[in-house]
């Protein structure tokens, strides 16, 4: 049987008419859908998993891109969620760096073998050893303190001396707290446990739960907002949220109380923001460049000014609006212990039934 080309022509035209639009759409969709996947192989690109709010970190990363030309793709999410994600992804993770708001999570990631040890002289020169992992798998970038934010029209600062005072019945319905999933609540409670023991901590948490009622928030910025508006008198947050709020609304009746400062008291609870390079990163050199940028004086300064945290580089000064770092002392629980303390802390939090 012979087939003439002419005979095929209408058929080809029909196939063309019928399938081409669909085929083109399919190609378009496929290419877009696969693009994010493919992009992780591109050379001058870094993928950062960030447990920090996007607005706190993006400007710094943009400055890095402007300086080096290295593109940074950012995935902003919860810190624990990102550690879980890294664990699940294993070798296949597209992430080059993990940036979190909690040293405990970084230490957990290190323990799970998700981060690679770093040998960088710059890091050792800039960041004191108590703010990084023993093998430099993670490096602290900035310090934050768990403080009491109070409304100056509702509370006098001498009414309260310790975080533990917040459990007293006089503060019923007058305090706001973060929810039990937040890493800094978990870290804070871990430090209290290490300093005061489980029994005392449990009593404290029960009081906190009863006093807070439904004032349990997902975000620190909401707690600060509630305190500033006078919806509650006191709240527990990381210090910089207060200063960020005051920077935009200088007249807000809002102030910071550094708790547990009496002689022999526990001291303020400290945590750090930190960063580590993932074990399976294929862009380790670029990732090192980013860390170098973040711990350089310029990077630290930017970080400190933008976020109102305490820079960890000794030669960089904190924002003058902040409580002078030399005027208060921090709790003596090493950051690297936060990871091992976490699991029993979670159990305690759940036993008490904090939301």
Q: Are 310 and 272 in contact (CB under 8 A)?
A: no
Sketch the per residue contact string, 234 through 273, with other proteins: x for CB under 8 A, - otherwise: ----------------------------------------
Q: How far apart are CA 344 and CA 233, in angstroms?
A: 30
When binding is defined by CB under 8 A, the residue of 13, 24, 54, 173 that contacts other proteins is 54
Are β-strands 216-217 and 234-238 bridged in parallel, bridged antiparallel, or unpaired?
unpaired
Count helices and strands (H / E) in the chain: 12, 10
Q: Is 63 in the site for other proteins (CB under 8 A)?
A: no
Q: Is 53 a residue that touches other proteins (CB under 8 A)?
A: yes
State which residue, 216 or 272, has the beta carbon closest to other proteins: 216
- Phi, psi at residue 349, to the nearest 5°? -60, -40
| C-alpha 108, offset from chain centre | 14
Number of residues that bind other proteins (CB under 8 A): 52
Burial code of 275-301, b = ≥16 C-beta within 10 A, e = fewer?
Answer: bbbbbbbebbebbbbbbbbbbeeebbb
Tokens matching residue 45: 């690109």
Which residue from 59, 78, 117, 253 is in contact with other proteins, where contact means CB under 8 A? 78
Nearer to other proteins, 82 or 291 (CB): 82
C-alpha to C-alpha distance for 125 and 88, rounded to whole angstroms: 34
Q: How far is the CB of 102 from other proteins (least distance, A)?
A: 12
Q: HSE-up of 301 (CA within 13 Å, CB side)?
A: 6
207 burial via Cβ count (<10 Å: 0-12, 13-18, 19+): buried
Q: Minimum Å distance from CB 93 to other proteins?
A: 8
The binder of other proteins chosen from 182, 211, 278, 286 (CB under 8 A): 182
Give the SS3 label for residue 57. helix
User: Is residue 317 a contact point for other proteins (CB under 8 A)?
Assistant: no
Q: Does 314 bind other proteins (CB under 8 A)?
A: no
Please write down the HEC assignment for all residues of 196-229: HCHHHHHHHHHHHHHHHCCCEECCHHHHHHHHHH
Indicate whether 350 belongs to the interface with other proteins (CB under 8 A). Answer: yes
- Please state, in angstroms and rounded to a whole number, the distance separating the CA atoms of residues 343 and 340: 7
Q: Does 27 bind other proteins (CB under 8 A)?
A: no
Compose the 79-108 pattern: x for residues touching other proteins by CB under 8 A, - for all others.
-xx-xx--xxxx-x-xx------------x
Among 24, 34, 42, 298, binds other proteins (CB under 8 A): 34
Q: Please select the residue that binds other proteins; options are 29, 247, 298, 332, rule is CB under 8 A.
A: 29
- Residue 159 binding other proteins, by CB under 8 A: no
In the block, residue with structure tokens 């008291």: 265
Binding letters toward other proteins, positions 183-222, x by CB under 8 A: -------------------------------x-xxxx-xx
| CA neighbor of 239 nearest in space, from 255, 218, 261 | 255
Which residue in 231, 261, 280, 296 binds other proteins (CB under 8 A)? 231
**Of 135 and 343, CB closest to other proteins:** 343
Judge whether 136 and 123 are in contact, CB under 8 Å: yes
Q: Which of 75, 120, 154, 265 binds other proteins (CB under 8 A)?
A: 75
Smallest distance from the beta carbon of 316 to other proteins, in angstroms?
Answer: 27
Residue 340 binds other proteins (CB under 8 A): no
Q: Of 167, 147, 142, 307, which Cα lies nearest the Cα of 237?
A: 147
**Interface with other proteins (CB under 8 A):** 29, 32-34, 36-37, 39-40, 47, 49, 53-54, 73-78, 80-81, 83-84, 87-90, 92, 94-95, 108, 179-182, 214, 216-219, 221-222, 225-226, 229-231, 346-347, 350-351, 353, 355
């Amino acid at each position: 049987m012979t087939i003439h080309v002419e005979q095929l022509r209408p058929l080809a035209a029909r196939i063309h008419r019928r399938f081409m639009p669909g085929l083109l759409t399919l190609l378009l969709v496929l290419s877009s859908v696969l693009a994010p996947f493919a992009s992780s192989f591109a050379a001058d690109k870094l993928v950062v998993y960030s447990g920090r709010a996007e607005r706190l970190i993006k400007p710094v990363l943009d400055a890095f891109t402007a300086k080096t030309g290295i593109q940074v793709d950012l995935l902003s999410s919860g810190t624990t969620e990102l550690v879980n994600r890294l664990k699940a992804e294993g070798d296949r993770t597209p992430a080059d760096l993990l940036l979190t708001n909690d040293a405990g999570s970084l230490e957990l990631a290190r323990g799970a073998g998700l981060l690679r040890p770093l040998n960088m002289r710059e890091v050792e020169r800039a960041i004191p050893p108590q703010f990084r992992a023993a093998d430099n798998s993670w490096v602290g970038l900035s310090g934050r303190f768990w403080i009491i934010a109070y409304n100056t029209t509702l509370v006098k600062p001498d009414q309260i001396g310790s975080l533990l005072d917040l459990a007293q019945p006089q503060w019923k319905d007058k305090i706001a707290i973060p929810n039990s999933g937040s890493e800094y609540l978990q870290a804070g409670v871990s430090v209290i446990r290490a300093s005061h023991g489980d029994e005392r901590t449990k009593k404290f948490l029960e009081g906190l739960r009863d006093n807070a009622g439904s004032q349990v928030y997902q975000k620190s910025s909401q707690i600060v907002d509630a305190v500033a508006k006078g919806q509650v008198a006191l709240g527990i947050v990381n210090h910089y949220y207060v200063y960020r709020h005051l920077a935009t609304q200088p007249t807000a009746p809002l102030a910071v109380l550094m708790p547990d400062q009496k002689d022999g008291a526990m001291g303020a609870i400290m945590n750090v923001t930190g960063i580590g390079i993932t074990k399976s990163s294929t862009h380790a050199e670029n990732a090192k460049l980013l860390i170098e940028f973040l711990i350089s004086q310029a990077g630290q300064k930017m970080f400190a000014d933008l976020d109102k945290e305490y820079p960890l580089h000794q030669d960089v000064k904190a924002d003058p609006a902040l409580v002078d770092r030399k005027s208060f002392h921090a709790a003596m629980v090493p950051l690297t212990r936060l990871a091992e303390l976490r699991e029993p802390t979670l159990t305690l939090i759940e036993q008490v039934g904090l939301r």
